[in-house]
Amino acid sequence: MSAGWDAIDTAATVTGWERSEFTLLEWWPADHDLAAGTVAVEFVFADDRLRIVNGLDENRIEVGATPREYVRHGLGR
């Protein structure tokens, strides 16, 4: 699957962002793998979490509970 910015309807109404939280996460696993120190952006919504993570050779999207290997860095508003 591939999605480009020209395929996104920017006029569409997006809901649920009003109660969201943004967090930077830093990957630090106990065994210090190749990805150690990479950063992810996490969006926390009322019912779920979405992360944009560094998959080393590509970016990935993950949903659900945050793995404990991430260190949180809160952002002030």
Q: Tens digit of pLDDT for each residue in 10-34?
A: 676 666 666 678 889 999 988 888 8
Q: How far is 32 from 69, CA to CA, in rounded Å?
A: 10
Q: Got the DSSP string for 14-29?
A: --SGGG-EEEEEEE--
Does residue 5 have a pLDDT over 80? no
Q: Give the mean pLDDT of 33-57.
A: 87
pLDDT at 47: 83
Question: If we measure between CA atoms, which residue out of 52, 51, 39, 42 comes closest to residue 21?
Answer: 42
Does residue 59 have a pLDDT over 70? yes
pLDDT at 1: 46
Query: Structure pTM?
Result: 0.68
Q: How far is 53 from 62, CA to CA, in rounded Å?
A: 7
Classified as helix, coil or strand, 42 is: strand
Distances, alpha carbon 7 to alpha carbons 3, 14, 21, in Å:
6, 16, 26
